[in-house]
Amino acid sequence: MESQSPWLLLNWRQVFREKKYQIIFKGMSQQDYDRLKKKLKDALNRKKEIDRQVTRLEEDIFNKETAYLSEGAQHGNIIKGFENFTKTTTSTSSSRGKKIQFTDEDRIFSLSSATYVRHLKKINSGQMQGTLNPLLAQYDDDDEESEELTPRKRRT
């Protein structure tokens, strides 16, 4: 028995697919097809708008989180603790307690969003080639949108 050439096999698969679609759309009128096409376009446009809204909300959360962490740097915050709260005095700022610095690892709200982590990775890879934030590099590159609410850390 001779083996079939890859082209014939590919051609047969293409014909099968076309016939399958012809069977599906055979009883459908042009009006039904146009209605479904418009419905699909509307759904895709709605998805794009919702994606934009989610991105805006995530950026707003990021900005509010930055403000909270910055303002709490002097007296403390819920993430780093409040040990400097009792050490503050009314004298000059140089005599105040040690100022607490915050890092990206302290961003518990922003980093809990898998979509925002992907958004930050895109921004970092587009603006600064090769200088990706090491914290963002911990998350899987191939993480697609999933049922999980938080990103998974890369296993080593």
Using CA atoms, how far residue 92 sits from 17, 71, 115, 141, in Å, is 77, 17, 43, 48
Residue 133 and residue 77: Cα distance in Å, rounded?
24
- Which residues touch 144 (CB under 8 Å, ≥6 apart)? none
Ranges assigned E (strand) in the chain: none
- pLDDT tens across the length of the chain (156 residues): 455 555 555 555 666 666 555 555 666 788 888 898 999 999 999 999 999 999 899 889 888 888 888 876 666 676 666 666 666 554 445 445 555 677 777 787 887 887 877 777 777 776 544 444 544 444 444 444 444 444 455 554
Are 62 and 110 in contact by the 8 Å Cβ rule? The answer is yes
Tell me the whole-structure pTM to 2 decimals. Answer: 0.50
N residues, the chain:
156
